[in-house]
Chain A
Amino acid sequence: MNVLLKTLGFSLALMLTFTAVTYVLPQMKGEAPEDRDVDVAALTMDSFITLGEDLYVGKGTCTLCHNDLGRAPNFLELNVVGTSLERIGDPLYQGDAMDAAGYIRESMLDPNVYVVKGFGKKGSDDTESPMPAVDKPPTQLSEVEISAIIAFLQAKDGNPVTVALPAQTPASLVAADEITEAAKPVVARNAEEAIAKYACAVCHAVLDSEAAIGPSLNDVGERLTINEIRDSVIAPNAIIVEGYAAVMPDLSETMVLKELELIVGFLAEQTGDQL
């Protein structure tokens, strides 16, 4: 009996020690996300942004990875709008977004369209993102919730919020994919498509065209630097080549950054040697 009591006492004391450790550590409870009713009619932009912030740190579980521990870019320390525009212009960008809101939405729905260097899935060479699509389980954000998070990310750095408050119609309940599909712009995927889209070949000799309304672009890489080419596309009438009329249209309102970079990159390589 003596041995029984001693061994039992020893074992219980050890267990109580382990239990005591759980008492001295911080106590946190992880609540499951609840289905809450959002009064759309009563939403103001401020409350919409607050909802977005709540979702960003709560149900969206964004801060699980997007924090200062280096697991994913920390959006709370980045100007998300500026960063989004930079990424749209990155040649590695695979998406169709034309503005920051579109880019953020696209990144949430299909994180593989642009994987930040060093943050891809192991072995994927940064072509596959470890982030799950937020409209699918387990995160399962609704379209309104996604918009709220975008509004928060835009507003937190003082940028204008471009997402609209959810409508008071059932349209706001439309699945995110459907909305994205409807609003999807047709963005050129490569330089050839971009040149065709903006009809450059109608006036310039480029690709298969031998048009001579504007200067030939087949050797433009030899004549101009990449920055000069970019300037010429953005502001075509700033410098007019002798012998040509100032008839090139201003494309800055319609051309997206990605297309600009595709065209500029292509033209910079045109040194006449290809002919």
Chain B
Amino acid sequence: MRRLRRHVNPTPCACSDYGARQDRTIIIKGKQAAPRSRYPLWTWRHVLLVMMVAAIGLISSGSSSVASAAGQEAEQQIVAVNSDDITAESESSLLPAPNPERSDYPNIGVSSRSLVWVIAQMHLFFGALVLAVPIFVLVIELIGFRTNDDRYDDMAHEFMKISLTAYAITALFGGALALSLFLLYPDFMTYLTTRVFGAQMLVYATLFFLESLLLYVYYYGWNALRYGNRKWIHLTLGLLLNAVGTTLLVVANSWTTFMMAPSGIDTVGAVVGNIWEVMRGPLWNPLNLHRFIANIAFGGAVVGAYAAFKFLCAKTAAEKAHYDWMGYTSNFIAILAFLPLPFAGYWLMAEIYAYSQQMGILAMGGILAWLFVIQAVLICTILFAGNYYLWTGMARTEGSHRYRWLIKYIAAVLVLGFLVWVTPHNIIFTGDEIARLGGRNHPVLAPLGIMPAKNIAVFLMLIFTFLSFQIYRRADKVITVSWESWANALMVAIYIVASANVIFAGVYYGYFTNTVYKVGSSVIQVGSTLVVIVSGVVIDTLMFKGAKTLPVSWGKISGRSQYALFALPVAFTWLMALMGYVRSSVRTHWHVYAVVKDNSADNFIPTLQHVGNMVTFATVLFLMFLLFIFWVANLSSVKQVPPVGLASRAAAAGVA
């Protein structure tokens, strides 16, 4: 009886059978290179290499050096590949991607994916924090410098204290991540580090060292470079720190996007492009923008929780005032960065669709689509918390009574938006339920379950969150410009027209046109929302010129409001982990989409419960580390009172 193996790769290439590829011989510089040795010998050689490198990396707080040093061996190969001695016919088929079998993955007794998942997530959480905080710290520092207000400078310095402590933890998790990846996914990691990215890893390591250097000088040089021209030196250091940090971010992003939408390689995974072609895949820039903005929102939320914690612990009115102001500033940063985030997310998703409709539909309409219901719950939590904090914060100034009447309407829009957003299109019914419903979809609620309805809800929620933000900013101002009524009328008109636009575009394109044109509504909706935000900021900025500022009683805010500042980072962290999982899962059973197959025991998409458990576990772990960081940051300002005897002896010695 003849049996047919179902997974035959029919690709008409020199190495049509993936499984057979690794046994091919490769001609390099006219010599016949030996086929790749089998896993055990290879693994332990690399494990030792990785462990040595990881140790060096950890000592120097440089996680990236793990990957870069491990890539040294690859450098030789890449040099060889690029040499002129390679024949033209071997060029495209040389060094194809590996196709590891199940037995090539080490079994350590626990799920490799779960282990890497948690470690990678922790690294990403802390990485996001330490890259984002210096961005807004620099802005706050500059504001303090320009306004000669030391409060800004002190607050910026305190924010950096948190970032500095988190930096070491980021490096620790980075080292652990590199180590676990090399141990648990040796073939894939070798391919990625030695064949694809190669020397770029060295650049990454160099940048990491530079980032460390600049971070320490920036933080510890704060008071030495505080005033006058020296402040410019300090600000320049901050700028350099952010430039290097952002470069690190985009370099690391290229690894992620290569795995999702590979570029610079041929169909069998052989590298045919240069490193720039490998890096600038179709998803690179959308992810760069998305992560850059999201990191700022996340960083703002985390330092906001720090401020809230300190506020709740504060004993004096001065302390409460300081941390209240710090919490307000953090929330301001978080929400301001959060507002444009959906647009960046939209761009990323649109590019995913453009790259592979299959991938896009899997995320938004396939097995992963349910995760977006959870996303709705999380984003609404963020919006509720952000808005609630602004509303309660309006109590700090008497001028807020002019705008409080609007709060109930904003709340109504947010609640309705939330309800629409979480309404599913269809759920799994029993036969009896289907019979009673008259179909698989609810006759009334089903239209609310599809994207057009959700888009309307989301954009209206964003517009009305901006309204909260705007009335908060206006609460302590008495406008004095003569054209105030005209400007207010214009602003109201912009809100009405934008909201109408959002509703009309969603209804018309969503329900009365072909599916292909549904996406057309998003452009109008994004544009309308941005017009509200931009015009609101511009009009207010012009109106605030010469405005009378009413006294703000910092510290006079309810303790309950501070819990909103805890809800923000919790929801942000959970959301970040969840969306990171979705982004990673759209690759399904591929390490590198359509090139390197994931044949490990964990190559399935897990159930939502499993995802929920994993995300919560990572978030709880992050919270624990965060509390440790807060504690350590607080510890540095605690000075022990000398014992009575020691103090009196010291005093006596001073007298003598």
A binds B: yes
Q: Are A19 and B9 in contact (CB under 8 A)?
A: no
Q: Specify which chain A residues have a CB less than 8 angstroms from the CB of B613 in the assembled complex.
A: 19, 22
How far, in angstroms, from A185 to B267 measured CA to CA in the complex? 28
How far, in angstroms, from A4 to B627 measured CA to CA in the complex? 9
Judged by a CB distance under 8 angstroms, whether A259 is at the interface is no
Q: Are B620 and A12 in contact (CB under 8 A)?
A: yes
* Cβ-defined partner of B623 (8 Å) among A11, A29, A136: A11
How far, in angstroms, from A69 to B510 measured CA to CA in the complex? 12
Q: Are A136 and B594 in contact (CB under 8 A)?
A: yes
Judged by a CB distance under 8 angstroms, whether A65 is at the interface is yes
Question: With contacts A142-B8, A143-B10 known, is A32 near B3, CB below 8 A?
Answer: no
Question: With contacts A3-B309, A25-B370, A137-B595 known, is A14 near B4, CB below 8 A?
Answer: no
Contact with B along A17-54 (1 / 0, CB 8 A): 01101110111111111011111111000000000000
Q: Are B598 and A38 in contact (CB under 8 A)?
A: no
Question: With contacts A30-B367, A32-B588, A64-B366 known, is A135 near B570, CB below 8 A?
Answer: no
Question: With contacts A166-B4, A168-B2, A172-B4 known, is A71 near B570, CB below 8 A?
Answer: no
Stretch from B178-186, B320-328, B357-365, B406-414 contacting the other chain: B357-365
Judged by a CB distance under 8 angstroms, whether A8 is at the interface is yes
Q: Are B3 and A40 in contact (CB under 8 A)?
A: yes
Contact with B along A169-202 (1 / 0, CB 8 A): 1001101111000000000000000000000000
Q: Specify which chain B residues have a CB less than 8 angstroms from the CB of A32 in the assembled complex.
A: 588-589, 598, 603-604
Besides A8-B623, A138-B593, 14 other CB < 8 A contacts? A7-B308, A11-B566, A14-B571, A18-B381, A19-B612, A25-B373, A30-B588, A33-B589, A42-B1, A65-B358, A131-B357, A138-B588, A145-B6, A177-B10
Q: Are A18 and B374 in contact (CB under 8 A)?
A: yes
With most chain B CB atoms within 10 A of its CB, the pick from A27, A168, A176 is A27
* Cβ-defined partner of A21 (8 Å) among B312, B354, B357, B612: B612
Residues of A within 8 A of B (CB): 3-4, 6-8, 10-12, 14-16, 18-19, 21-23, 25-33, 35-42, 61, 64-65, 69-71, 118-119, 121-122, 130-132, 135-140, 142-145, 166, 168-169, 172-173, 175-178
Judged by a CB distance under 8 angstroms, whether B619 is at the interface is yes
Contact with A along B267-289 (1 / 0, CB 8 A): 10000000000000000000000
Q: Are A23 and B367 in contact (CB under 8 A)?
A: no
Minimal beta-carbon separation of B587 from chain A (angstroms): 9
> Quick one: closest A residue to B450, CB to CB?
A69
Q: Are A118 and B516 in contact (CB under 8 A)?
A: yes
Q: Specify which chain B residues have a CB less than 8 angstroms from the CB of A166 in the assembled complex.
A: 4
Q: Are A29 and B312 in contact (CB under 8 A)?
A: no
Judged by a CB distance under 8 angstroms, whether B83 is at the interface is no
How far, in angstroms, from A172 to B10 measured CA to CA in the complex? 11
Q: Are B5 and A138 in contact (CB under 8 A)?
A: no
Q: Are A28 and B367 in contact (CB under 8 A)?
A: yes
Minimal beta-carbon separation of B319 from chain A (angstroms): 13
Q: Are B563 and A16 in contact (CB under 8 A)?
A: no
Q: Are A15 and B616 in contact (CB under 8 A)?
A: yes
Q: Are B608 and A3 in contact (CB under 8 A)?
A: no
Q: Specify which chain A residues have a CB less than 8 angstroms from the CB of B603 in the assembled complex.
A: 32
Q: Specify which chain B residues have a CB less than 8 angstroms from the CB of A42 in the assembled complex.
A: 1
Judged by a CB distance under 8 angstroms, whether B567 is at the interface is yes
How far, in angstroms, from A4 to B594 measured CA to CA in the complex? 48
Question: With contacts A38-B3, A38-B4, A42-B1 known, is A71 near B357, CB below 8 A?
Answer: yes
Q: Specify which chain A residues have a CB less than 8 angstroms from the CB of B519 in the assembled complex.
A: 122
Judged by a CB distance under 8 angstroms, whether B221 is at the interface is no
Judged by a CB distance under 8 angstroms, whether B82 is at the interface is no
Minimal beta-carbon separation of B552 from chain A (angstroms): 24
With most chain A CB atoms within 10 A of its CB, the pick from B366, B381, B613 is B366
Q: Are A26 and B427 in contact (CB under 8 A)?
A: yes
How far, in angstroms, from A263 to B515 measured CA to CA in the complex? 36
* Cβ-defined partner of A135 (8 Å) among B11, B312, B427, B595: B11
Q: List 30 A-B contacts (CB under 8 A).
A: A7-B312, A8-B623, A10-B566, A10-B567, A11-B570, A11-B623, A14-B570, A15-B616, A18-B571, A21-B373, A21-B374, A22-B611, A22-B612, A23-B612, A26-B370, A26-B608, A27-B607, A29-B606, A32-B603, A38-B4, A42-B1, A71-B365, A71-B515, A135-B10, A136-B11, A136-B594, A143-B8, A166-B4, A169-B2, A177-B12
Q: Are A28 and B607 in contact (CB under 8 A)?
A: yes
How far, in angstroms, from A4 to B356 measured CA to CA in the complex? 47
Q: Are A37 and B374 in contact (CB under 8 A)?
A: no
Judged by a CB distance under 8 angstroms, whether B641 is at the interface is no
With most chain A CB atoms within 10 A of its CB, the pick from B519, B567, B607 is B607
Minimal beta-carbon separation of B101 from chain A (angstroms): 10
Interface residues of B in 544-575 (CB under 8 A from A): 563, 566-567, 570-571, 574
- The 8 lowest CB-CB distance pairs between A and B, nearest first, are A22-B612, A30-B605, A32-B589, A175-B10, A70-B515, A137-B594, A130-B357, A27-B607
Q: Are A37 and B4 in contact (CB under 8 A)?
A: yes
Interface residues of B in 507-540 (CB under 8 A from A): 514-516, 519
Q: Are B374 and A38 in contact (CB under 8 A)?
A: no
Q: Specify which chain B residues have a CB less than 8 angstroms from the CB of A15 in the assembled complex.
A: 570, 574, 616, 619-620
Q: Specify which chain B residues have a CB less than 8 angstroms from the CB of A3 in the assembled complex.
A: 309, 312-313
Q: Specify which chain B residues have a CB less than 8 angstroms from the CB of A140 in the assembled complex.
A: 7, 9-10
Q: Specify which chain B residues have a CB less than 8 angstroms from the CB of A12 in the assembled complex.
A: 620
Q: Specify which chain B residues have a CB less than 8 angstroms from the CB of A118 in the assembled complex.
A: 514, 516
Minimal beta-carbon separation of A165 from chain B (angstroms): 11
Judged by a CB distance under 8 angstroms, whether B609 is at the interface is yes
Contact with A along B356-395 (1 / 0, CB 8 A): 1110011001110010011001100100000000000000
How far, in angstroms, from A12 to B619 measured CA to CA in the complex? 9
Judged by a CB distance under 8 angstroms, whether B16 is at the interface is yes
Q: Specify which chain B residues have a CB less than 8 angstroms from the CB of A26 in the assembled complex.
A: 370, 427-428, 608
How far, in angstroms, from A130 to B516 measured CA to CA in the complex? 12
> Quick one: closest B residue to A27, CB to CB?
B607
Judged by a CB distance under 8 angstroms, whether B472 is at the interface is no
Q: Are B607 and A10 in contact (CB under 8 A)?
A: no
Interface residues of B in 465-497 (CB under 8 A from A): none
* Cβ-defined partner of A18 (8 Å) among B354, B378, B563, B605: B378
* Cβ-defined partner of B356 (8 Å) among A37, A132, A135: A132
Interface residues of B in 183-222 (CB under 8 A from A): none
Judged by a CB distance under 8 angstroms, whether B338 is at the interface is no
With most chain B CB atoms within 10 A of its CB, the pick from A12, A36, A132, A140 is A140
Q: Specify which chain B residues have a CB less than 8 angstroms from the CB of A36 in the assembled complex.
A: 6
Q: Are B6 and A35 in contact (CB under 8 A)?
A: yes
Minimal beta-carbon separation of A14 from chain B (angstroms): 5
Q: Specify which chain A residues have a CB less than 8 angstroms from the CB of B5 in the assembled complex.
A: 35, 37, 173
How far, in angstroms, from A36 to B365 measured CA to CA in the complex? 28
Judged by a CB distance under 8 angstroms, whether B459 is at the interface is no
Minimal beta-carbon separation of A121 from chain B (angstroms): 8
> Quick one: closest A residue to B517, CB to CB?
A118
How far, in angstroms, from A121 to B354 measured CA to CA in the complex? 8
How far, in angstroms, from A136 to B356 measured CA to CA in the complex? 13
Judged by a CB distance under 8 angstroms, whether B590 is at the interface is yes
Q: Are B377 and A144 in contact (CB under 8 A)?
A: no
* Cβ-defined partner of B365 (8 Å) among A10, A69, A121, A177: A69
Q: Specify which chain B residues have a CB less than 8 angstroms from the CB of A144 in the assembled complex.
A: 4, 6
How far, in angstroms, from A31 to B603 measured CA to CA in the complex? 7
Q: Are B12 and A178 in contact (CB under 8 A)?
A: yes
Q: Specify which chain A residues have a CB less than 8 angstroms from the CB of B12 in the assembled complex.
A: 175, 177-178
Minimal beta-carbon separation of B564 from chain A (angstroms): 10
How far, in angstroms, from A16 to B365 measured CA to CA in the complex? 26
How far, in angstroms, from A25 to B609 measured CA to CA in the complex? 9
Q: Specify which chain B residues have a CB less than 8 angstroms from the CB of A18 in the assembled complex.
A: 374, 377-378, 381, 571, 574, 612, 615-616
How far, in angstroms, from A137 to B6 measured CA to CA in the complex? 14
Question: With contacts A26-B427, A135-B11, A173-B4 known, is A14 near B381, CB below 8 A?
Answer: yes
Q: Are A37 and B11 in contact (CB under 8 A)?
A: no
Q: Are A176 and B607 in contact (CB under 8 A)?
A: no
* Cβ-defined partner of B3 (8 Å) among A23, A37, A138: A37
Q: Are B604 and A30 in contact (CB under 8 A)?
A: yes
Question: With contacts A7-B312, A18-B374, A32-B604 known, is A142 near B6, CB below 8 A?
Answer: yes
